[in-house]
């Protein structure tokens, strides 16, 4: 009889519970990882509450979670880059490695990618995962497993900054001070950005952004974000604006706060499939629109940046829960945003 292990499985909208599932079978090119820490992402909450994100629809029970780190406990016969006992960060998306996108370094666009906790693929809120060794990255002993779990969201910020072409001393606005907004703050600081303005509607997150190095913060409930950014930039606007909130209003604001010839970077995923956009303004101002979907070729670099203290994700980890309180962790992540930023589950 196959060994059973514990996992938190989403059976239907709002129906998340601990189940016993089969221990994964190890393939020759895989390592078996004992999961130690899992961060709860906004996408996990979307599936938990809505059962879908755009075209990705929950049609059968699915294990949630994709921000994760753990320890190697077994390796397949073809694995040469890892050994038992290695502490690793798990990159959750595994592409086919054969298509045009994979061969040209754009594997995040691979049509055959399997991505943890994206229907129909199971995620990481489970005791053990069998995963291809080339998508496991060693982490130093100085990094906790909880920090390792946050390499995944940090990779989103790193990929966004790379695609934007951000250069030192450029002015930046970040719309949204949630986990992705705050890791983007860390990345633009690492590149050497000039003034960094952050806007959100939650005052506690703006206070954290200020402590983490934002030059100015704007509470959108109290001030007009567009006018305030113009005021802070001598009516010019910023060189780069990153939208991380995933709200239709902030997406439309990107062109308003970008300066002439600026760059608008869209990271957040909105609930709406279509958003009316002032495209004439984009054209007249020659604002470049850059879109970001997940990440590629950045996980190892994200680990390096953390290991050398070029970025710091510790302030973002506001809440931690043991594995058996995972449902409570989801409730806090969803409903207590004024008291939490990144919620981490420890196995």
155-291: what CATH class? Answer: alpha beta
* CB-CB contact of 265 with 242 (8 Å): yes
4-150+313-346: what CATH class? Answer: alpha beta
**What are the CA-CA distances from residue 96 to residues 55, 100, 101, 102, 107 (Å)?**
20, 10, 9, 7, 8
Question: Does 271 score more than 70 pLDDT?
Answer: yes
| Sign of the dihedral defined by the CA atoms of residues 297, 155, 175, 209, in that order | negative
The domain locations on the chain are: 4-150+313-346, 155-291
Asked if omega into 120 is within 30° of 0 (cis), the reply is yes
Distance, in Å, from the CA atom of 134 to the CA atom of 117, rounded to the nearest integer, reads 19
Burial of 60 (0-12, 13-18, 19+ CB in 10 A): exposed
Largest CA distance in the chain: 70
pLDDT (0 to 100) of residue 1: 65
Question: Does 115 score more than 90 pLDDT?
Answer: yes
* CB-CB contact of 249 with 199 (8 Å): no
Percent of the chain with pLDDT over 70: 100
Task: Report pLDDT digits (tens) over 51-89.
Answer: 988 788 999 999 999 999 999 999 999 999 999 999 999
Question: Does 295 score more than 70 pLDDT?
Answer: yes
pTM: 0.95
User: Poorest-confidence range of 53-62, 69-78, 185-194, 233-242?
Assistant: 53-62
Confidence of residue 272 (pLDDT cuts 50, 70, 90): confident
pLDDT (0 to 100) of residue 294: 95
Distance, in Å, from the CA atom of 63 to the CA atom of 321, rounded to the nearest integer, reads 17
Sheet holding 4-12, edge to edge: 15-22, 4-12, 62-63
Question: Does 171 score more than 80 pLDDT?
Answer: yes
């Amino acid at each position: 009889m196959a060994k059973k292990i514990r996992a938190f499985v989403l059976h239907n909208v709002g129906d998340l519970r601990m189940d016993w599932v089969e221990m994964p079978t190890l393939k020759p090119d895989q390592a078996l990882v004992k999961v130690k820490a899992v961060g709860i992402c906004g996408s996990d909450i979307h599936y938990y509450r809505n059962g879908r994100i755009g075209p990705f629809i929950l049609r059968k029970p699915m294990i949630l979670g994709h921000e994760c780190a753990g320890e190697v406990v077994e390796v397949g016969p073809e694995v040469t880059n890892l050994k038992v006992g290695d502490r690793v960060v798990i990159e959750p998306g595994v592409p086919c490695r054969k298509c045009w996108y994979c061969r040209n370094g754009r594997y995040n666009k691979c049509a055959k990618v399997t991505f943890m906790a994206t229907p129909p693929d199971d995620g990481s809120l489970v005791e053990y995962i069998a995963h291809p060794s080339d998508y496991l990255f060693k982490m130093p002993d100085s990094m906790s497993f909880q920090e390792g779990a946050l390499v995944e969201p940090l990779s989103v910020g790193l990929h966004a900054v790379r695609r934007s072409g951000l250069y030192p001393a450029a002015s930046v606005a970040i719309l949204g001070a949630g986990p992705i907004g705050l890791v983007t703050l860390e990345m633009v600081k690492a590149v050497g950005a000039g003034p960094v303005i952050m806007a959100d509607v939650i005052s506690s997150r703006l206070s954290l952004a200020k402590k983490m190095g934002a030059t100015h913060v704007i509470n959108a409930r109290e001030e007009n974000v567009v006018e305030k950014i113009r005021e802070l930039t001598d009516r010019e606007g910023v060189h780069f604006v990153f939208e991380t909130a995933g709200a239709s209003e902030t997406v439309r604001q990107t062109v308003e706060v970008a300066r002439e010839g600026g760059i608008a970077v869209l990271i957040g995923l909105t609930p709406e499939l279509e958003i009316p956009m002032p495209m004439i303004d984009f054209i007249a101002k020659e604002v470049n629109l850059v879109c970001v979907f997940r990440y590629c070729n950045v996980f190892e670099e994200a680990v390096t940046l953390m290991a050398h203290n070029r970025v710091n994700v510790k302030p973002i980890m506001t809440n931690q829960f043991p594995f058996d309180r995972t449902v409570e962790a989801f409730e806090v992540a969803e409903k207590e945003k004024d008291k939490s930023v990144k919620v981490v589950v420890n196995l």
